[in-house]
Structure formats: structure tokens, C-alpha cells
Structure 1
Amino acid sequence: MKGVILAAGKGERLEPMNASRPKHILPIGGSPLIFHTIRAMQKAGITEVIIVVHHMGDMIASCVGDGSALSVKVNYADQGRLGGTGDALRAAAPLIGSDDFLLIYGDLAFKPYLLVDLISFWERSGGQGAIGAIRLSDASEYGAIESIGGQLVRIMEKPCFPGPGLVNAGMYVLPGRILKYLEATPLSERGEYELTSTINIAAENGMVFSIYELRQGSWVDVGRPWNILEANQMLLSDLVRGRSIRGDVEEGVQIRGDALIEEGASVLSGTYIEGPVWISRGCRVGPSCYLRPYTYLASGVRVGNGCEIKGSVVMEGTHIGHLSYIGDSVVGKDCNIGAGTITANLRFDGKNVRVSIRGRLMDTGHRKLGAFLGDGVKTGINVSLYPGVKVGHSSWIGPHVSVQRDIPPETVVIPKVEVEFETRPRR
């Protein structure tokens, strides 16, 4: 059985975190996102993986390579356009052949055991295919699963009605002969060829798909900025177990709970760590910092004296100046965070934080949520960012600015302050 990963999309709802690289290789839980999927496939017995690429596909190929570092063989299929998931499968079809295959959407994070369980379920079920599904409190953003007796009737792609339901989780075991239905797949209302439409046509023609329901807390769709934090928390819970201290930890550092400190990292005296926390190679933390649970520092991050970081993802090469607070936030790579920068993460009214996604305010489901800074952002001293604010890549924010709304990419924000000078009276 071969594995197929669909990784051609832009991920526009993930802005500003996707400006300089595709979402599939964002560092989450210690590795590029797609690495977690490939490792899970390898544990499930998959030795050959096909990755369908298009948008920034060369960056994915450069990151993953031939797969040898992950103990698999990787081939690439260029979709050639952004024509939907069915069109992506069509691009991979010549490499798949006639065998059964495992297909995963490339922007998912999930517990590594899921693929082993999905394949075992498929083998036991006696059907020709298996579809992973999960129950959500709001099914309106996903393909809703309609089933009878555990077998698929149809997938309703993104129904308009809100409410709880069983939705398509983007994980499939499919028979090779489903490929013949690709040519019969019509354009959807969105102008794309949907894999779910192909599956519906196959089901109408007698192909049996069994529904495998995922456990709650085992799956995250990394489609919006706050999903990065959810995925990171889920992955660190599994990946950081016990203590693995390979870096330089000075006397006077206190560690409570699980921690992974890579070789080449240094943690200076007076720093207090509550795990699970992952500190990557080349990081320098302290002195006298406070790292709280579910913090992930990617390679080369610098955290200055007296900083507090809580439940955040800080990407490669970013410097955080002294006396700053980064809480429940995502900070892109190569940012320079000025001293005293604060990310507020709680509304006065205690309601869930809302974030603007493509012009629409969305309830994130989180009472505590900070800011999202794209790559190359710079802040001056004493900058404050309101909960849920997004700062576009390469933007500069001057000192003492209170950021209350989103900032577009490549924008300079300068405070206008009138200062009066008076001659001091002589005594």
C-alpha cells in the first residue's frame, strides 16, 4: 500500500503564518507539520509516499527530500493548478497505479496511532474503502458524513447549516479502482473537482466505504492561526515525555514536568520551566525567564532576560527582547520583538477571542488567545498587542504602540505623539 499526501493548497485562512512557506512545513511540535504525517505513515507500514504539490511545491520538496531521512521513499506529483482535492488525486494517479492506497490531507495534525488504527479497521471491516470521521460541535465548515449502519451514504461538502455532526476528517483508505471515477467527477459549486464528489459517485455505484470514527482530541485541522497552537499542544503531549536534556543548562535553572532541550541549546540561570516544553538547537533562553506549558521554541530562538512565554509557538531565528510576555501566541521566523512587548490574551468580558479570517470575525473557541505575528515582524519597546490581533509579515511597529486591529503585511506603524518642551524655571 502506498501513501498519498495532498499538499498543493495555499492555506489562505492561515494568514499571516503562510506568507513565506506553505502551511505543510510550518514548524509545529518539533518538526515541519508534514513530517508528523510521514512518520505516522511509516509506523503504519507505508514505505512509499506520494506528495501532491503545487503552491511553493519546491519548498516542500526541498524540506522533505527523497524521504530517506524519514525511512520512506518519496515521489512528487505537481498538480499544475489549484483545482481541488479530486484534481490533486488525478495528478497522483499515474504514481498510485491499481493498488489500494492511504490518502491524507497535508494540513492535518493527529495522534500517530490513528493511521495504524485506520488501516486495521479497514482490514477488519470488509468494505472496499474506509473514511476517517470525527464529531465536531460545528459541522458547517467541513464535509458532513451521512451514514447508515457504519457505512457511507454520502458526504455533504460544507453544509450551510451550523450545529454538531460527524464530519470528514481527511483520512482515507481507498481502493485503486476508485481512480476510474475521477473522469466522471463534476465541477463543484466552488469551481473545483472535489475528492468527496468522486467518493459519492463511487458509493452510488456500489462501492462500500466503512466509517472509522476518531477519538476526540486526536485530530486537528491546521487551517487557521489558532489551530497551530491546538496542534502543537496535542503533539507535545505525546512527543515530550520525561526529560531529555542534551543542551547546556546552567546551575540555578528549575524544571518542573516534561522537557526536551536539544543539543546546542542553552538555558541560563534563574530560568523556571514548566513542561511540556521543547527548546530546539541553537536557542538561548534567559537569564531568569519563565517558560510555561506547551511552549515550543524552534531553532535559533533567543529569549532575553526576564521574559515569560506561555503556550506559544516561536519560529526559527526570532529574538524576543527582555521583559516581554508572549502568551498563547504564534510568532513567525526571523522576528525581532522589542523589550517590554506584551501580547494580551484575555478579553475584559471573558468571552472567547475572535479573529478576523478573510474579512469575517470568527469565534476561536478560546477564552485565552494572544497574537499572530508573521515572519520578519519587528516591534519597538513597550508594544502591546490585543487578543486575536494578526500582524502581517515584514511589518514594523514603533515603540509604545497599542495594536488593536490587524496590520497588513509590509506596513510601518509609527505613533503620533505631540511632545512639548518648556524651559525649566530657575530656583
Structure 2
Amino acid sequence: MKALILAGGSGTRLRPLTHTASKQLVPIANKPILFYGLEAIAECGITEVGIVVGHTAVEVKAAVGDGSNFGLKVTYLPQDAPRGLAHAVLIAREFLGDEDFVMYLGDNFLVGGVSDIVQGFIERDASTAARILLARVPDPRKFGVAEIAGDGSVLRLVEKPDNPPSDLALVGVYLFDHHIHEAVADIEPSARGELEITDAISWLIEHGFGVNSSMVDGYWKDLGDPEALLEGNRIALMAIRPLIMGEVIDSQVDGPVLIEAGARIVDSIIRGPAVIGRDASLQSCYVGPFSAIGDRCSISASEVVNSIILSDSIVDDVGAIEGSVIGKFATICHRNERPRATKLVVGDHARVELL
């Protein structure tokens, strides 16, 4: 079995972070989202992985390399523009050959891995051509939605319906045999101009191929917007292994906290779960639960709770920051000059909430 990981797309819901970065490389608990998927694939015993990349290909290649750090052999598959999930399968035809494969969306975060689901597909009945993962969601109108029979077989799929037939949303992990290639070659683009994977799976059902489903037992989230990113960060931090490799001076560290090598904590309080990146500097500050401070960040005379601060950023004397996502090389500081007005330089699609 092979794996196909999708790491293209423009990440519009995560702007302005994704104006300069791949959405799949935005970190939760200081590790890129994409790496969680690669680790899940490796845990299945799969070694050959194709990664579909778009305009951020250079950045993705620099982060992942040849895949050897994950025990994988990676082949990069360029996609000229986001043309739908089924289009990703279409351009991966030569790489995939006629082998079974798991398709994993690189901006999805799934706790617990997919080893059991992959093994179940390997041992499936010969009439089954695909398996989808499903999760119950409060508002299925935002997702592809499945209607299933009592035995878990899929009766039909609908993409982002106004009147959902169920509350069962498609999770961003799919398993296919070679029949999916015939399906993606035969469907037409949807109204939004994309080849939809829901249409390709519907093609399989209409042509008599079996499609079954598995419910996701653990946590799953599409980390496509800031609120989801913070939620994923909280879940990921709950699994960290407490370890102090940096320097802690006149400070208090409570709960599960990972302090990376080179970090320096002075006259501060850190309450986990939290992670402090390499060579970060914290002076006279409070870092509360569910915070991820990136490499080489400088935090002083401030409080940070339930937030993600990406690498090389500065937070200086600004009081409390909560529920925030701060990009790389950002500077947030207290203004001492008059007039005492708030001074902002804010990029496109940013959101700022002031007291």
C-alpha cells in the first residue's frame, strides 16, 4: 500500500499566516500539522508516500526533505492549482499505479492514527473498492456528508448540502483501490470548478463497487481556521512529554511543560500543558496552559495563555494575550510614546480584537 498526502491549497481561512507559509506547515504544539500526518502514515508500515504540492512546494520540500526522518520515501507531485481532491488522485496516477492507497489531507489532525483502519482495508472483502472515515459534527453543511446503511456501507455522499441527510462528515482520510482512477477520469468538475472526491466516490457506488465506512473514535479536526488551530494545539499539548532541556532561573514550572534546548526562562511562571521552543527567551512573564511558544521567541513582562506564537516573534510589556495566533517575526510591544493611541501594522485578512 502507498500513501497520497495533499499539501497544496491556498489556506485562505488561515490568512494572513498563509500569505507567507504553507497551511500544512503551521505548527500545533510547535510541530507542523503535516508532520502529524506523516507520522501516522509511517506507523501504518507504509513507506512510499506521494505528496501533492502547489505554490508552497519549496517550503514543503525544505521541511520534509526525502522523508527519511519519518522512515518514508517521498515523491513530490506538483499541482498547478487547487483543482479538487479528485484531481490530486488524477495527477498521482503514475505514482500510485494499481496499488491500494490511503489519501490523507495534510491539514487534518487525527488523534490515534489510522493503523487499524488501514489494516482493516487491507483485509477487506474483495468487492470493497473504498473506505471513508466519518465523524459526527454539529453543522454538517460545512462538509461532505454521508448517508450510510446499518452495516456501515455508504449509500450516498453530498458535498456541503443545504439539507444534510445526516450529521456524518467526511474526515480527511480515504482508502482506495485502483478503481478510483477510473472514477476520477470519468467525473466532471463541480459548480466551483473542481473535481470533487465525493463525486468520484459516488461514481464507485453508482457503478456497483462497495464503499464502506469507519467512525472516528478519537479527536479529529480540519485545522483550516484560527479557532480550529487553537483547539488542535490544545489537544496536541495534552500529549506532550514533560522535559526541561533549557535553563530555568528563579522560575516556577508546573504541570506538563516541554522546554527545548537553548531556551532561557528567568523570573517567570510556566503552567502546562505548554511548550517553549529552542533558544526562546522568557523574562518576567507568565505562560499559561495550552500555549506554544516557538523557537527563538522573546517574551517579557507579559502573560500568554491558550495561544500559539510562531518562531522569532517578540512580545514585550503588553499585559495579557489569550486565544491568539501570532505569526513569525511579529513584534507586539507596549507603546510608551504620546499620543497613547494604538499603533498597528496589520496584513490582509487579519483580525485584531482590542479591549
- Tell me the TM-score normalized by structure 2: 0.92
Whole-angstrom distance in 2 between the partners of 1:206 and 1:164? 22
- After TM superposition, give the deviation of residue 237 of structure 1 in Å: 1.2
Specify the alignment match of 1:295 in structure 2.
291
SS at match of 1:167: strand
1:285 pairs with 2:286: no
Measure, in 2, the Cα distance between the counterparts of 1:283 and 1:302.
Answer: 6
In structure 1, distance between residues paired with 2:86 and 2:129: 19
Q: Does 1:103 align with 2:103?
A: yes
Secondary structure at the residue paired with 2:227? helix
Match of 1:59 in 2: 59
1:310 is displaced (CA, Å) by 0.3
Amino acid in structure 2 at the alignment position of 1:62: A
1:191 aligned to which of 182, 190, 193: 193
Verify the 8 A CA contact 1:50 1:74 in the aligned structure 2.
yes
Structure 2 residue aligned with 1:156, among 155, 158, 168? Answer: 158
Aligned residue identity for 1:286: Q
Shift of 1:41: 0.7
Aligned pair count reads 347
What is the CA–CA distance in structure 2 between the aligned matches of 1:123 and 1:301, rounded to whole Å?
A: 45
Is the Cα–Cα contact under 8 Å of residues 140 and 163 in structure 1 kept in the other structure? no
Distance in 1 between residues matched to 2:124 and 2:238, nearest whole Å? 31
Aligned-pair distance for 1:162?
Answer: 6.9
Cα offset, 1:323, TM superposition: 4.4
Report whether the alignment pairs 1:338 with 2:333: yes
Identity of aligned residues (%): 30
**Is 1:208 paired with 2:205?**
no
The runs of at least 4 consecutive aligned structure 1 residues that moved more than 4 Å come to none
Deviation string, structure 1 residues 287-312 (Cα, Å, up to 9, x no partner): 3x11111100111110013x111010
1:191–1:265 distance in 2 versus 1, CA, 3 Å: same
SS in 2 for 1:229: helix
1:327 and 1:161 mapped to 2: Cα distance?
36
On the 8 A contact 1:136/1:165 being kept in 2, the answer is yes
Instruction: Give the aligned residue type for 1:204.
Output: E
Structure 2 CA distance for aligned equivalents of residues 135 and 279 of structure 1: 34
Of the structure 1 ranges 69-78 and 311-320, higher mean CA displacement relative to structure 2 is found in: 69-78
Q: One-letter code of the match for 1:233? A: R
The residue correspondences of 1:74-93 to structure 2 (distance < 5 A) are 74-93=74-93
Distance 1:381 1:39 in 2: 47
Q: Does 1:268 align with 2:269?
A: no
The amino acid of 2:287's aligned partner reads L
Q: Give the secondary structure class of the aligned counterpart of 1:66.
A: coil
Q: Deviations over 1:159-204 (max 9, x none)?
A: 1237970010111111123112211111111111111111110111
Distance in 1, matches of 2:30 and 2:232, equals 11
Q: Which has the larger radius of gyration?
A: 1
Say if 2:320 is the partner of 1:325: yes
**How many Å apart are 1:336 and its aligned residue?**
0.8
- CA pair 317-399 structure 1, distance change in 2 beyond 3 A: farther
Match of 1:322, SS?
A: strand
- Contact 1:203–1:209 (CA under 8 A) maintained in structure 2: yes
Q: How does 1:5-84 map to 2 (within 5 A)?
A: 5-84=5-84
SS in 1 for 2:238: helix
Determine if contact 2:272/2:289 at 8 Å carries over to the other structure.
yes
| Paired position in structure 1 for 2:247 | 248
Gapped regions of structure 1 (runs ≥ 5):
340-379, 383-397, 414-427
CA drift at 1:402: 8.4
CA RMSD of aligned residues (A): 2.2
Q: CA deviation at 1:222?
A: 1.1
Match of 1:401 in 2: 342
State the match for 2:311 in structure 1.
316
Read off the aligned partner of 1:220 and give its amino acid letter.
Answer: K
Q: Distance in 2 between matches of 1:143 and 1:5?
A: 19
Structure 1 pair 83/323, CA: closer, same or farther in 2 (3 Å)? Answer: closer
Higher normalized contact order (CA 8 Å, seq sep 6+, divided by chain length): 2
For residues 295 and 121 of structure 1, the distance between their equivalents in structure 2, rounded to whole angstroms, comes to 37
d(CA) in 2 for partners of 1:268, 1:110: 36
> Paired residue for 2:115?
116
Give CA-to-partner distance per residue, 1:332-372, whole Å, 9 cap, x none: 00011112xxxxxxxxxxxxxxxxxxxxxxxxxxxxxxxxx
Partner Cα separation in structure 2 for residue 381 and residue 210 of structure 1? 62
